[in-house]
Amino acid sequence: MIILNRRHLLSLAGASMALASCGQGAETSAPKITLKSAWMRPPPGSRDTSAAYLVIQNEGGADTLLSASSPLADEVQMHISEMKDDVMSMRREDAVAIPAHGTVTYTPGGRHLMVFGIQDGVKAGDKLTLTLTFKRAGVITVEGVVGSGPS
């Protein structure tokens, strides 16, 4: 015989209610995505290429990041840096899985958004707008900064 104390019984009741309210369960429930901590390094010298970073937080079902863009640049690509035979290299990702109830972090040394064709005069302190398109959640925009880290 299994004896549960009152506290366990209450938490079990809470869990089953939460499952019931999910309806179809975590796999098929709608993604609930929040973008935060967006920033981009100022393009060095006369170059018009840089890298941008952000945190993709998902409190719902699984989704897929399909593309990114910014009004201050011609093109934004999803990239990932990898260490292979002591050499750091990067490759483009066409789609990035966003797990259910998970977080995907774009940070220096790992995943980054490669920003091409940055407009002249973009400098530290400027506002950064990034627009990400997800398979299920659609288009989501986040405001950030140009600088040495998230504001």
Contact residues: Cu ion, CB under 5 A: 79, 90, 114
CB of 3 to Cu ion, least distance (A): 57
Q: For the CB of residue 114, give the shortest distance to Cu ion in the complex, in Å.
A: 4
Q: Which is nearer to Cu ion, 49 or 141 (CB)?
A: 49
Residue number, 52 or 62, with CB nearest to Cu ion: 52
Question: Half-sphere exposure of residue 3, counting CA atoms within 13 Å on the CB side?
Answer: 1
Spatial contact of 73 and 130, defined as CB atoms under 8 Å apart? no
Q: How far is the CB of 4 from Cu ion (least distance, A)?
A: 53
Q: Looking at beta carbons only, is 41 or 79 nearer to Cu ion?
A: 79
Residue 116: partners with Cβ closer than 8 Å, 6 or more residues away: 48, 49, 73, 74, 75, 76, 77
